[in-house]
Amino acid sequence: MSDAQHSHRGEDASLHRSAHALGRTDLGDVGEVTKHDSRLSAFGACEEANVAVGTALAFGDFGVEVAATLTSVQNDLFDLAADLSVPFDETDESDVVRITEQHLTWVDRAYEHYSSQLSPVDGYIVPGGTVPATLLYQARVAVRRAERTTLAAMAEFPGSTNALVPRYLNSASSLFFVLARTHNAELGDTMWNPLGSVTARTQN
């Protein structure tokens, strides 16, 4: 749970400020944790990824189908953050939001749908190109960071995190990659040329 969510509880606000000043905050049913707790970092990284997707939607001028896909990912990221805020070994699972195989099936099918429209990649693509593609590449790295921080939390607190969470994030990052390539289809991919810039400068 973020500081903003925490502050809306009907408890003594001075206690919140005192705890937060000491570098601690609440994380849902996990309870009070330090602000450098790996589980809180994973939760926060998912929030950051959601903002990146929202920014892409706001400025990307996407078509109806892609916009609907991104909106679905945003909602899934909220499901994912809710999942992270409740220990996976919690005994009472009633009313707990979890990432499920259904989430994974949908994101994998979305990836396959857009990937099938692209030519194979031979090499490494330089992120950029059109504005929509660049925003999608940016969202992709935010999602990949969320995946890494979630895996770090799982390593530190085995059994407390749903293993489907990083799997979803991994698939979502692949989805953003193919969506970015889709929006560079007219321009084509810009490929990495190892030492190309150095060679060009020495020839001038």
Report the number of distinct structural domains present in the chain: 2
CA–CA separation, 53 vs 67, rounded Å?
10
Q: For residues 14 and 56, state if they share a domain.
A: no
Using the structure block, give the residue that is written with the tokens 């770090």.
152
Q: For residues 6 and 23, state if they share a domain.
A: yes
Q: Which of 10-24, 37-51, 61-75, 116-130 has the lowest mean pLDDT?
A: 10-24
pLDDT band at residue 41 under the 50/70/90 scheme: confident
Residue 9 is predicted with a pLDDT of 45
Q: For residues 124 and 143, state if they share a domain.
A: yes
CA–CA separation, 85 vs 80, rounded Å?
9
Tell whether 202 is covered by a domain.
Answer: no
Tell whether 133 is covered by a domain.
Answer: yes
Tell whether 160 is covered by a domain.
Answer: yes
Q: State the helix-helix crossing angle for 131-156 and 38-59, rounded to 10 degrees.
A: 170
Q: What is the extent of the structural domain holding 79?
A: 37-196
Q: For residues 81 and 175, state if they share a domain.
A: yes
**Do the beta carbons of residue 98 and residue 162 sit within 8 Å?**
yes
Query: Which residue has better confidence, 100 or 159?
Result: 100
| CATH assignment at residue 143 | 1.20.1200.10
Give yes or no for residue 96 having a pLDDT over 60: yes
Give yes or no for residue 1 having a pLDDT over 60: no
Q: For residues 83 and 30, state if they share a domain.
A: no
Residue 23 is predicted with a pLDDT of 80
Torsion angles phi and psi, residue 26, rounded to 5: -90, 140
Q: Taking the model in full, what pTM does it have? A: 0.82
